[in-house]
């Protein structure tokens, strides 16, 4: 991505402020990601794939956890006596507080919260059997930022562990990119009208820096997740991930 395309993007503090003010909307498993096509399906798929790769996780990291939806979905698939230690990372303290509250209500007692930028968090190497990253990596910026962050998440993943991502994505072929974004605009109009579409497109333009899923899969391989896979893709959203060799 050209550096000029990243000029003027939202700062970390601006992103934090937006999410601090939007906790209630993100506190629903079914509607917390209204603007995301197939959000409930993607959440079901990444948590299912995570447990297919690591069926008895000891420790889970949820990057950009928001109100905890993805970790909640994951632990709902496990028996009460097999719940992992859950580590939550997010810019927003109100989001972390809500996520921790909801997980405790779901029976999870071992929880650790990291407030701040995952790029600056002190993550223990080889600590996590499962890493989840839902609707967060699109906030990364240039190539070096993407590579250093995914390399850090690889180092934090336990041997044989896995990372599963669901996110907004771009497309490598410009004409296909335009077609897919037009389709996404139609989806937004269908659920909220033209004003809602313009609102969502404006904050994506200001805040986000999505990359093609093909580019991200290549990057996952490059940092060490040799086995990668795509679970789902619809318009400008995809669910995918990889496993670290044992």
Residue 205 belongs to a domain with what CATH number?
A: 3.40.50.150
Whether pTM > 0.75 for this model: the answer is yes
What pLDDT score does 11 carry? 84
The domain in which residue 195 lies consists of: 3-243
One digit per residue, pLDDT tens: the chain, 246 residues?
444 456 677 787 887 777 766 666 665 655 457 889 999 999 999 999 999 999 999 999 999 999 999 999 999 999 988 899 999 999 999 999 999 999 999 999 999 999 999 999 999 999 999 999 999 999 999 999 999 999 999 999 999 999 999 999 999 999 999 999 999 999 999 999 999 999 999 989 989 999 999 999 999 999 999 899 999 999 999 999 999 999
What pLDDT score does 1 carry? 43
Residue written as tokens 């550096």? 3
- Rg of the chain (C-alpha set): 17
Residue written as tokens 């997010």? 90
Q: In angstroms, how far apart are the furthest CA atoms of the chain?
A: 51
Count: domains in the chain: 1
Q: Taking a C-beta distance cutoff of 8 angstroms, is the pair 43, 74 a contact? A: no
Instruction: Return d(Cα 153, Cα 229) in angstroms, integer.
Output: 17
């Amino acid at each position: 991505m050209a550096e000029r395309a990243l000029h003027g993007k939202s700062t970390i503090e601006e992103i934090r402020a937006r999410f601090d003010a939007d906790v209630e909307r993100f506190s629903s498993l079914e509607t917390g990601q209204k603007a995301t096509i197939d959000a409930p399906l993607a959440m079901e798929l990444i948590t299912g794939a995570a447990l297919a790769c690591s069926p008895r996780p000891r420790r889970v990291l949820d990057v950009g956890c928001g109100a905890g939806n993805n970790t909640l979905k994951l632990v709902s698939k496990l028996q009460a006596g097999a719940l992992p230690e859950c580590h939550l990372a997010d810019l927003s303290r109100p989001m972390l507080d809500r996520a921790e509250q909801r997980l405790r209500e779901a029976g999870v007692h071992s929880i650790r919260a990291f407030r701040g930028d995952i790029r600056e968090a002190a993550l223990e190497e080889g600590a996590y059997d499962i890493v989840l990253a839902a609707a967060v990596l699109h906030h990364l910026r240039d190539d070096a930022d993407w590579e250093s962050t995914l390399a850090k998440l690889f180092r934090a993943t336990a041997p044989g562990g896995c990372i599963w991502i669901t996110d907004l994505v771009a497309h490598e072929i410009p004409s296909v990119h335009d077609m897919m974004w037009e389709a996404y605009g139609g989806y937004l109009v269908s659920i909220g009208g033209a004003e809602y579409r313009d609102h969502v497109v404006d904050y994506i333009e200001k805040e986000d820096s999505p990359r093609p899923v093909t580019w991200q899969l290549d990057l996952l391989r490059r940092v060490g997740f040799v086995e990668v896979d795509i679970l789902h893709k619809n318009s400008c959203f995809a669910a995918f991930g990889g496993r670290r060799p044992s």
